[in-house]
Amino acid sequence: MDCTKNRSKILRSKVIKISKYTFFVLVVMVVIGFIFPTWTPNIKGKQSISTLEQVEINGTELEVMIRGVDQNNPIILFVHGGPGCSEIPYVRKYQDQLEENFTIVHYDQRGSGKSYHFFEDYSNLSTDLHVEDLLALTEYIKDRFSQQKVLLIGHSFGTYIGMKAAAEAPEHFFAYIGIGQVADSEMSERDSLEYTLKQARFAENVKDVRKLESLRESVETGEQLTPRNLVRKYGGAARLINDNLDYYTGFLFNPEYNLLDVVRYLKGVSISQEILLPERKKQNIIKIVTKLDLPVYFVMGQYDYMTSVDAAKAYFEELEAPVKEFVLFEKSAHYPQFEEEDEFAEWLNRTLEEL
């Protein structure tokens, strides 16, 4: 009897020690995760560049990642979407080919990702302020690399900012490329709703059909978006990649972000979307920008129902520009630059040669 009690006490003692040790290890790992230094992997070559740094732009500090095999190559400046959804955590996965022929610049917009600063006031955040930041960053990049112009590419909500910047200062850019181009948001959401409903009915998912039908009036009147989780579920966001998984693996395994940056990212998304989505709803881009004085390319995935193809096409037809082209990638949705990576790189190389 005494032996049994002793063994039980010893076992409990060992379990407690193991639990304390495990807890200590987890705490240490979390702390390290928060303070771990970040960087972007090196690119071999005497003329290569691979930097990840804070740059003072327009009264704030923006996180800027620059990568390329030869820094004398033409510059691409990417404007991420969201609002607030930096692509720095994972985008390196999809741009190896582009880095061969271009110097690629990504930045976290003001209040987004690593550009979110905990004690900075974002009450004045607006797309106009984002445009000011983008143009100031463009000037910085041009001066840094001694180039007269850059190629401006916006993705998703980044096209709203990119279009306004291209309209305000076209002299800075070779051309404007809008991937997953924002257009008339009400038309786009009606398209998204009808597509998602059709797919839900085809899948015989009664629960999703009822959910979508219950939202029909509020979506059609522009009061809310078609639920993005359902658009994603039925292939209207990505078909050849898992965009959510890309974020998770990027946060966990890529060196560009640590755990503190993940917290910044989540805070930035919340603040940016709360402020900027209502602005986009009130200020329709198709009425703000009706003409661009530079070559324009709308690049869409055929199955894009985050920003619908038909809405983008209608905007494209009305937009005035000296050169314009509507490019459709037939296998992808909202991320043709990632979903059809090879085809996109080939198209971009060919297009720049023509320019």
Mean pLDDT value of segment 132-148: 98
CA pair distance 275, 262, nearest whole angstrom? 20
The whole-number pLDDT of residue 29 equals 45
Read off the DSSP letter of residue 293: S
pLDDT reading at 325 higher than 50: yes
The whole-number pLDDT of residue 234 equals 96
Q: Could you report the per-residue pLDDT of 57-101, keeping only the tens digit for each? A: 999 999 999 999 999 999 999 999 999 999 999 999 999 999 999
**Sheet of 150-155: strands edge to edge?**
49-57, 60-68, 103-107, 75-79, 150-155, 173-179, 296-301, 324-329
Instruction: Map tokens 């607006």 to a residue.
Output: 126
Q: Could you report the per-residue pLDDT of 257-302, keeping only the tens digit for each? A: 999 999 999 999 999 999 999 998 889 999 999 999 999 999 999 9
Strand locations in the chain (E)? 49-57, 60-68, 75-79, 103-107, 150-155, 173-179, 296-301, 324-329
Averaged confidence pLDDT in the chain: 92
CA pair distance 70, 65, nearest whole angstrom? 15
pTM: 0.90
The whole-number pLDDT of residue 37 equals 85
